[in-house]
Amino acid sequence: MWLKKTKYRLYKWRAAWRKRRRLMFPSPAEVELIRIMGGKCIIIDHVKDRRTGFPLVIVTSMGRILKRELIMREVRVGAMYLDFAVATPWYKKGIEVDGKQWHQDIVQEQQRDDYLRQYGWQLLHIQAASIYREPSLVQRRILKFLAS
């Protein structure tokens, strides 16, 4: 019995640590998206995640637009996480920032999208490169997606 409880605590702690790590070390494209939407971030370059190499980021504000729409970062949906999402029972919309390094497997991405759509989620995929190239277009796409 004590072994089961210990295992459960370990799994719970590991899941909490993974979420905390995702919140502390977002991708540079996610940070730029927060800035585009009016948010503010503090980047601490000398502390980096060992796995990804991303610097430590403290998000001081998500911005007026994202705050108004109740958008949160790293929302868990089943066994998966969405980069940005509004998670209410009647309004399920998610925004995924697709970078080269983490979203290359098209089949896996399609299965993931199908799984999320099965549970009523609407998704908007934004390429990381477009965040840097055309920020005003990305902002308009997000606003249009949230309004629809």
Digit-coded pLDDT (tens) for 81-95: 888 998 777 889 999
Provide the token pair at 68. Answer: 């108004």
Instruction: Supply the mean pLDDT for the chain.
Output: 83
Q: Give the residue, 139 or 106, on which the prediction is more confident.
A: 139
pLDDT, tens digit (0-9, with 9 covering 90-100), for 105-122: 678 888 888 988 888 899
User: What's the structural domain count of the chain?
Assistant: 1
pLDDT digits (tens, 9 = 90+) for 69-84: 888 888 888 878 888 9
Determine the structural domain holding residue 17 and report its residue range.
Answer: 2-147
Beta strands 122-127; 91-98: pairing state? parallel
Residue-by-residue DSSP string for 33-80:
HHHHTT-EEEEEEEEE-TTT-PEEEEEEE--HHHHHTT-EEEEEETTE
Position 131 pLDDT exceeds 90 = yes
**Sequence-ordered list of residues with C-beta below 8 angstroms from that of 88, at least 6 positions apart, any chain:** 70
pTM assigned to the model: 0.79
